[in-house]
Amino acid sequence: MKAEGDSGDPAGIIQGLPLWSGPVAVEPLPGGLSNANFKVADGDRRCMVRLGDDLPFHHVFRDQEARVSRAAHAAGVSPALIHADDGVMVFELLEARTYGEADVRAQWRRILPLLRRCHDQVGRHLAGPAPFFWVFHVIRDYAATLRAGGSRMAGDLPRLLAVAEGLEAAQVAMPVVFGHHDLLAANLLDDGTRIWLVDWEYGGFGTPLFDLANLAGNAGMPEADERALLAAYFGQDPDPALWRAYRAMKVASLLRETLWSLVSELHMGAPGVDYAAYTAENLARFETALAAFEESER
């Protein structure tokens, strides 16, 4: 349902939602690579409003995101979803600090129980069809989108797809868990007592190894902490096959983020976001991780 009195601008859309007790104050929030986020004061109540349409080229569908967000709240890892309809989601606003990469490196031991709770519990609360995430399918589909759109890096796709094939072949059997699959530091919030996980666009069933590699790769964790992360998650030091699969998955995670940004260059235009710069940043991380992985294979 569209908000009555919708003026077409974000503040008008938000102010016209039929859930406020009276006039509301709307304040833009910084960040967001694919959505516009706002803080809303409704009397004494504070909410976070996210505006964003479906993004089929990114496999993002808002009805699915809403279902997963509700499951994540029921599992105790994410704030409550108050309202969801027609490209608008309203969440309980947390009085919490958004993490940066240095925070993840420093606090990964506190983050790990949250991640395990996500893996173990969110899927138990999910209603409706089960979303699934396999990074190598995403990479192949992104490559098809980039070829069709005439991406500036279309000529690099054969090499990148060949790399992805090798990374996929390095994987080992893992239990299926419910993962977040977008563990950028900005999706972790610390209220001083506990850490919360937000933004469930890519939430779905998959391998736990992706979330572990995604968390560490996005934060630039040192190798000693990566090994400790795996040991803490699996209850024992990683054997050579698991360590190899993890390192390959980290490269795949960084490749996915690079291709995500290239696809965004073609299809998105969030205000203030420099997708070309984001592509360059993640491409450099990918190439560094790939070189390290290939060196370990010699």
CATH of the domain at 18: 3.30.200.20
Give the pLDDT of residue 9: 86
Q: How far apart are CA 298 and CA 293, in angstroms?
A: 9
Look at strands 188-190 and 97-98 and give their pairing.
antiparallel
**Stretch 265-276: mean pLDDT:** 88
**pLDDT above 80: residue 180:** yes
Enter the tokens of residue 105. 């490196």
Q: 192 lies in a domain? A: yes
State which of 92, 109, 134 marks the end of a domain: 92
Measured torsion, CA atoms of residues 76, 187, 66, 191, in degrees rounded to the nearest 10: 40
Give the pLDDT of residue 242: 98
Give the pLDDT of residue 5: 35
Residue-number span of the structural domain to which 193 is assigned: 97-297
Q: 1 lies in a domain? A: no
Helix (H) / strand (E) containing 40: strand 36-42
Give the pLDDT of residue 82: 97
Q: 270 lies in a domain? A: yes
136 and 254 in a single domain? The answer is yes
Higher per-residue pLDDT: 10 or 212: 212
Give the pLDDT of residue 266: 97
81 and 121 in a single domain? The answer is no
Strand partners of residue 197: 188
SS3 113: helix
Q: 266 lies in a domain? A: yes
Q: 265 lies in a domain? A: yes
39 and 86 in a single domain? The answer is yes
**pLDDT above 50: residue 6:** no
27 and 131 in a single domain? The answer is no
**pLDDT above 90: residue 211:** yes
Domain tally for the chain? Answer: 2
Q: Residue 296 — pLDDT band, cuts 50, 70, 90?
A: very high
Burial 196-226 (b: 16+ CB within 10 A, else e): bbbbbbbbbbbbbbbbbbbbbbbbebeeeeb
Q: How far apart are CA 197 and CA 118, in angstroms?
A: 9
Strand partners of residue 70: none
pLDDT in tens, 231-245: 999 999 999 999 999
Kindly report which listed range (33-47, 107-121, 206-220) carries the lowest average pLDDT score.
33-47
193 and 252 in a single domain? The answer is yes
The residue among 144, 116, 122 whose CA lies nearest residue 71 is 122
**Stretch 255-263: mean pLDDT:** 98
Q: Residue 1 — pLDDT band, cuts 50, 70, 90?
A: very low
Residues whose CB is less than 8 angstroms from the CB of residue 51 and which lie 6 or more positions away in sequence, other chains included:
10, 13, 14, 35, 36, 37, 38, 87, 88
Residue with tokens 């998955």: 249
Q: How far apart are CA 271 and CA 206, in angstroms?
A: 32
260 and 203 in a single domain? The answer is yes
Give the pLDDT of residue 34: 77
SS3 180: coil
Give the pLDDT of residue 253: 98
107 and 241 in a single domain? The answer is yes
pLDDT in tens, 27-58: 998 877 778 899 999 999 999 999 999 999 99
231 and 277 in a single domain? The answer is yes
Our measurement of the distance from residue 227's CA atom to the centroid of its chain's CA atoms, rounded to an integer in Å, reads: 22
**Stretch 91-114: mean pLDDT:** 97
Sheet holding 36-42, edge to edge: 25-29, 36-42, 45-51, 88-92, 81-85
Give the pLDDT of residue 8: 61
- For residue 151, CA distances in Å to 146, 159, 160, 277, 282 come to 5, 15, 14, 15, 16
State which of 75, 92, 109 marks the end of a domain: 92
Q: 5 lies in a domain? A: no
87 and 104 in a single domain? The answer is no
**Stretch 252-279: mean pLDDT:** 93
Give the pLDDT of residue 208: 98
Q: Residue 4 — pLDDT band, cuts 50, 70, 90?
A: very low
State which of 92, 122, 140 marks the end of a domain: 92
78 and 126 in a single domain? The answer is no
Q: What is the CATH number of the domain that holds 180?
A: 3.90.1200.10
Q: 4 lies in a domain? A: no
Q: 166 lies in a domain? A: yes
207 and 102 in a single domain? The answer is yes
Give the pLDDT of residue 132: 98
Task: Provide the whole-model pTM.
Answer: 0.94
The residue among 145, 97, 131 whose CA lies nearest residue 262 is 145
88 and 109 in a single domain? The answer is no
